[in-house]
A and B are shown apart, each in its own frame.
Chain A
């Protein structure tokens, strides 16, 4: 089942490339939409069948390179299933949004379908090499998206920077993986086996080095301060659809790696160095928020808020590794909140990036000072952006609050000072987002001249509206009735908290 979900988009991508180049652009996008819908439907089936208390489900293991302990092993649990689901939702939304794409649509659809396969692959992989393979291929595919469909010549530089930076990170990750595999007897890359074996227990120095390699690799991907500077240019110059996927799915690979690999396989080292994660998390929260506050470019600002939002995740997983003076409930809340934040950030920031794309599609620019009072001309655009922004700044009713409340409440017990500082992040994001809303959408109407002939500034097109509202509707559902999601995450986070504590 998972294999089908994972590789269906890839198969369709191959089929798309076989189709004639002369077929209508829309046909390709519709093929993509249908594929993404089928994939999402399959995930919904998995979700309904899935038993949250039963651990890893839908497992499939095939020997691949048995001499090296490498296998094709996939499966989902409460940590990965929500991310698989949000990946499929985001790709469907992006597919609908892309109905208005006109540049080399056939290859565009093929690259995105390929990207969908590798993104799902990362979250279902239960083998380190398989994980690494998908992780790296996602970087490659995203490189092509940014370089091929980004904004002009700067996009190629941004894409190269993104590629080199995150690729360096993934090399560090690979080194860590090899270190893990070598420590296990017999050598294996299987995540489940490694988790059971706790291979580096008692070898403190070795465990620290392995955690360092894995930690650096994941931190670059997340990204956390100070290894985040690839993110702003990559986002600013990527196409809207690429940005939404980059923020919504690719960044989660870093934080997911913490909960899937680093925490359960290296519990001892994780506990010892949790404070480092906490500090990095808090710095990311505050620093990311403040730098975002100073931005004048709408999309760049959203990019920096990602540093802030994912900083909370890092803080939470760090706090969950601090055992001193806390009961399991607090740590479990923190971990559940961290996973919820990954889902929530995917939906809300995905929506915000698509909204930034709406701005670019009309005027080819993001600088907020050029616009003013757009609400008068485009009430829908303004209203939807306001909802997304308030969701992003953590107003209850949308998913961001559900995530951040759990993270902050759960982390305060073990890390009172750090969490107390991180609380200020909520205020900073509130300030920067209402300020941005004011600058772009409120006040007297001012629209810059169009670079081309099209002087009109139309409100959201149906495809844009459907894609963005679908994401926000899901965020609303999680914000109002979060149990359907938390029921899936909570047993898994309890297991994880126990694994870290052993």
Chain B
């Protein structure tokens, strides 16, 4: 059992690490190795979802690194492994990505997520969490020759890491508050005031990772990565990790009065505002990215409102749907060279398989019954309704927006236009078998997961998660959302392409993702850089200069001392010598006899003494230094012997 838990994370970790380390030499073997590793991982995930293994090893003083597949983790590991495998299979067909670096990093990315969703202690969770950030940096910047892609990777990495600080804070707070083992299940028992700090840290980290407001902008930039990276990052890793953490720690949110409502409102607000942002986008990938924030917002809303089952349903359904949509968008981006909606008009009509699966995906995203996201959203809204009817209203409005932006995307892709013509021109290159398989599997999942709306499967999921008491959507709620979704979809189809009576200031603001990135630049990045430059100048000019001045003063002092030495002390010696000489001469005059030789010798000796006395005054600093040391040592010795 223990072995299985370790294998689940070690297989993708080792395979990914080996591929990345091997580099270009392994490029040819990479797709086979990558897909095989993905499939083995999926099999391990399946087995562990049933057998529920656990493992633990000592990590720090009194703190273990624990892995366990419980109900929630079981759902997550299967989702992560399945989406990863599908995305890897898809990537085999993209010649620009067939490399050891790509497949290796993708496996590492997935392995980090598997660690995160199975970890039972905070440090291990944080390890998976941070490795995920690092690999996302490498994947978003995969085409590193283009500076804008690297800049995007930096933005994503630094934004999420700024939120990650919350987890470090949480770990310290848990320890200080008495949850010394840092096990996730004891965190709610942390003593105040540390409980507040702990919860705040967790919430900030989770919201940042899930690209909720106000950090949503990094997800927009993350679109610079290859499409399969987006598929994985939006569906089963990164953004899913934050939502997972909130679902996992919902007892913690409940333990503090404020955290549940705060998280629920953060999710609801994001769902609403980013839904509007999605509608305003003119690029398919950007539209899908904004919709990710909004859809994951529902999961966050569920976690805050205490609807774990609803949150999980939404998370899994969204994973299948969004992976599918990004892969389809990736096909068109490769074939047509664009993801701008206007260029893609009618593209879904050309590549039949891609078109059909995309249509299934976008219909699911729209929340049309009886597809999976319709089921998931209603589960979430049921929990919101039980908590606070206002939350339900906001969530419902956000659901309508989801239908509208999905309808907009469908309108562009399905009506014939320039995309179809361009597609027919290059149409000979049809999609490869592997690509097709991946799309069909994901589309099937997006549809089939709708069964979770049925009472039986919904109950089974609740049983798996151990949350039987949670509210289920009532009949009128399901009916209302179904009816409204259909009406909204029809209206969206009608109205797309017509002018909307909204001032351009607002649409521009929405198109630019609420100007959040610019705000972050103005408020954080630029002041920090300015401060850094100012401090660097301060370091060079003031601090270092003070030291230099002090040294110079010391040298000046030494020179002055040397001068005094030369003039006074040495002068005295010279005078003495001269005096001696004079005395000698006098003596010579007095006594021209035998003593003459002796006197001359004394004089010569005195002269030599004078020269010797002058020798230490060299004016060279380090020699003064040595003398200082000798003197100090002598002093020390004196102290010792007398003390």
Instruction: List residues of A whose CB falls within 8 A of some B CB.
Output: 67-68, 160, 163-165, 167, 171, 174, 178, 181-182, 187, 225-226, 229-230, 287, 290-291, 293-295, 325-327, 329-330, 332-333, 336, 373, 375-376, 379-380, 383, 386, 390, 394-397, 401, 405-406, 408-413, 416, 419-420, 423-424, 426-428, 430-431, 434-435, 438, 441-444, 482-483, 486, 490
- Interface flags, B120-154, vs A, CB<8A=1, else 0: 00010011101101100110010011110011011
Decide: B176 and A434 in contact? CB cutoff 8 A.
no
Q: Considering the chains assembled together, what is the distance between the CA atoms of A226 and B59 in angstroms?
A: 35
CB-CB nearest 10 A-B residue pairs: A412-B172, A413-B176, A396-B127, A294-B536, A229-B544, A294-B532, A293-B532, A442-B144, A290-B532, A294-B533
Decide: A395 and B535 in contact? CB cutoff 8 A.
no
Decide: B625 and A164 in contact? CB cutoff 8 A.
yes
Decide: B176 and A397 in contact? CB cutoff 8 A.
no
Instruction: List residues of B whose CB falls within 8 A of some A CB.
Output: 23-24, 57-62, 123, 126-128, 130-131, 133-134, 137-138, 141, 144-147, 150-151, 153-154, 157-158, 161-162, 165, 168-169, 171-173, 175-176, 180, 182, 197, 528-529, 531-533, 535-536, 539, 543-544, 547, 551, 621-622, 625, 629, 632, 636-637, 639-641, 643
* Chain B interface SS verdict (over half): helix
A181 contact set on B, CB distance < 8 A: 640
Decide: B176 and A416 in contact? CB cutoff 8 A.
yes
Decide: A442 and B145 in contact? CB cutoff 8 A.
yes
A230 contact set on B, CB distance < 8 A: 547
Given the known interface contacts A291-B532, A427-B158, the answer about A483 and B145 at a Cβ–Cβ threshold of 8 Å is no
Q: Which residue of B lies closest to A168 (CB)?
A: B625
A225 contact set on B, CB distance < 8 A: 543
Decide: A426 and B532 in contact? CB cutoff 8 A.
no
* Chain A interface SS verdict (over half): helix
B62 contact set on A, CB distance < 8 A: 329
B544 contact set on A, CB distance < 8 A: 229
CB distance from B517 to the nearest CB of A (A): 15
Given the known interface contacts A401-B130, A483-B58, the answer about A295 and B536 at a Cβ–Cβ threshold of 8 Å is yes
- A-B pairs with CB below 8 Å: how many? 169
B157 contact set on A, CB distance < 8 A: 430, 434
Given the known interface contacts A333-B175, A396-B126, A444-B145, the answer about A182 and B643 at a Cβ–Cβ threshold of 8 Å is yes
B130 contact set on A, CB distance < 8 A: 394-396, 401
A431 contact set on B, CB distance < 8 A: 154, 158, 528
Given the known interface contacts A294-B532, A438-B150, the answer about A409 and B172 at a Cβ–Cβ threshold of 8 Å is yes
Q: Which residue of A lies closest to B172 (CB)?
A: A412
Decide: A409 and B171 in contact? CB cutoff 8 A.
yes
- Contacting residue for A405 out of B126, B131, B535, B625, CB 8 A: B126
Q: Which residue of A lies closest to B635 (CB)?
A: A178
Q: Considering the chains assembled together, what is the distance between the CA atoms of A444 and B146 in angstroms?
A: 7
Decide: B144 and A434 in contact? CB cutoff 8 A.
no
Q: Which residue of A lies closest to B539 (CB)?
A: A291
CB distance from B38 to the nearest CB of A (A): 21
Given the known interface contacts A412-B176, A435-B154, the answer about A375 and B144 at a Cβ–Cβ threshold of 8 Å is yes
Decide: B131 and A443 in contact? CB cutoff 8 A.
no
Q: Considering the chains assembled together, what is the distance between the CA atoms of A332 and B60 in angstroms?
A: 10
B621 contact set on A, CB distance < 8 A: 164
Decide: A395 and B131 in contact? CB cutoff 8 A.
yes
A406 contact set on B, CB distance < 8 A: 60
- Contacting residue for A412 out of B173, B535, B547, B551, CB 8 A: B173
CB distance from B284 to the nearest CB of A (A): 27
CB distance from B125 to the nearest CB of A (A): 10
Decide: B528 and A293 in contact? CB cutoff 8 A.
yes
Decide: A160 and B622 in contact? CB cutoff 8 A.
yes
Name 30 interchain pairs, CB-CB below 8 A, sorted by A.
Answer: A164-B551, A165-B547, A174-B636, A229-B539, A290-B536, A293-B528, A325-B176, A336-B61, A373-B145, A375-B144, A383-B23, A386-B138, A394-B130, A395-B134, A405-B171, A406-B60, A408-B168, A408-B171, A409-B168, A409-B175, A410-B172, A413-B175, A426-B161, A426-B168, A430-B158, A431-B528, A434-B154, A438-B147, A442-B144, A443-B144
Given contacts A396-B131, A428-B528, A444-B145, could you give 17 more A-B pairs where the C-beta distance is less than 8 Å?
Answer: A68-B637, A160-B622, A164-B551, A174-B632, A187-B640, A294-B529, A386-B138, A396-B130, A397-B127, A423-B165, A430-B161, A434-B154, A442-B141, A443-B147, A443-B150, A444-B147, A486-B61
CB distance from B501 to the nearest CB of A (A): 43
A226 contact set on B, CB distance < 8 A: 543
- Contacting residue for B535 out of A67, A229, A294, A396, CB 8 A: A294
B528 contact set on A, CB distance < 8 A: 290, 293, 428, 431
- Contacting residue for B175 out of A174, A329, A490, CB 8 A: A329
